[in-house]
Amino acid sequence: MSVDGTGIGQNLFFGLIKGVSWGTSVALTGPAGVPIEEISPLCPQNAQIEDTAMGRAFPKQVYNGVKNVAFSMKTKLYKAGALWIPVCQLIGSDSGSVAAGVYTHEITMADVVSGRFFSGAVMIDSTTAQLYEFPSVKPHLIEITQGDGQYLDLNVQGIANDVLIGAAATNDSDNFPGGATPFTYGNEDSPYAFSHCRINMNDNDGAAFDSSGDGSDRVLVNNVSITIGRPNEPDYTANRTTSNARTFQTDEPRASGIHSNILVTLQFNETVDRTFFEEFRDKQHKKMEVMFYLDSSNYVKFEFPKLVPVQPTFAGTGVNRLPSTLPYQALQADSAPTGMSGLTAPVKLTVVNTIDSNQYHDGAAIT
């Protein structure tokens, strides 16, 4: 093993694309590029099983067992691009449309999401072309977070079936920047910042929000995070056939249990209002919208028709400002609240922009 200076992050490229058949890689093409900041794992992941047969004091073998590939990536929340594919695949079905150059995608949280996953690949250094490929990744958690004026981070976690290395990968250096048929990036110079954030909240049975964002329901926070998760788990089945050598790999992961990991967490650098704590004590149901807003043709909106405050944190911490953290859990609503017509699912995402350099635009669905 040698060190030549090419194995550094500035030489790492990543792209992802909608999957077609679980366990089968898809060639990266079009605007599949995602300008990531972190990604893992970049090596195979197998459970390690010792030979524990009797008649010996020490194991003689360690075997590779099932593959449990916990995929994770971090990027900025860009206005458009392939990064929205796992976000929308996690939430549900997308109805895409275009009118007068404005692209709109509305995705409501579905009870069950099946057949929605992506294929991704990494190349490190175009000269040595170190390739690492995720044939299929089923997203199970996204988190959007940041505050105090920073750009918003998007974290995606999922379960992959495998990590292929080198010649085992479908993609090669031609698919990456610098190659013969490289993928492109979907407007990576336009991430949303915390200063674009607008939050409205009132009681679940309250009036519709002021569309200008300047109404009495506005909440001024110093940090916000949105977490949407599904209780997916690997599904190891007897899937060996003459044409399928995917030994120890999971089939498409399945959800198991109730979907309770949908949270909006508000943070304040200085706490001057006890109303939030009284609402927690009384388990007051709320509704909320969180927007990252540039203008009427470029924004992202999360709508939560029914929220309940869960355990807040607040304590005296010396002579400085007294911060607090207020988490809210999203629930299924009995009926759509005023201003959220037809919405009873825990969350709805709307993505609106005027950028057409995307593999899901032209009115096609992201998912």
Distance, CA of 302 to CA of 85 (rounded, Å):
16
- Please check whether residue 137 is in contact with residue 212, taking contact to mean a CB–CB distance below 8 angstroms: no
Produce one character per residue of 97-108: b if its CB has 16 or more CB atoms within 10 Å, e if not: eeeeeebebbbb
Could you tell me which residues come within 8 angstroms of residue 295 by beta carbon, excluding any fewer than 6 positions away?
none
Say what the pLDDT of residue 366 is: 60
Residue 290 confidence (pLDDT) above 70: yes
Which residue has better confidence, 306 or 147? Answer: 306
Say what the pLDDT of residue 363 is: 44
DSSP-H helix ranges across 83-229: 84-91
Q: Where are the domains of the chain?
A: 9-47+63-353
Mean pLDDT in residue range 100-123: 91
The answer to which of 35-39, 75-79, 273-277 has the lowest mean pLDDT is 273-277
Say what the pLDDT of residue 367 is: 56
Is residue 359 very low, low, confident or very high in pLDDT (cuts 50, 70, 90)? Answer: very low
Distance, CA of 182 to CA of 277 (rounded, Å):
53
Is residue 44 very low, low, confident or very high in pLDDT (cuts 50, 70, 90)? Answer: confident
Chain-centroid distance, C-alpha 57? 46
Place of tokens 């010396």: 318
Mean pLDDT in residue range 82-106: 87
Q: 65 in helix, strand or coil? A: strand
Residue 55 confidence (pLDDT) above 70: yes
- Please check whether residue 132 is in contact with residue 172, taking contact to mean a CB–CB distance below 8 angstroms: no
Q: 275 in helix, strand or coil? A: helix
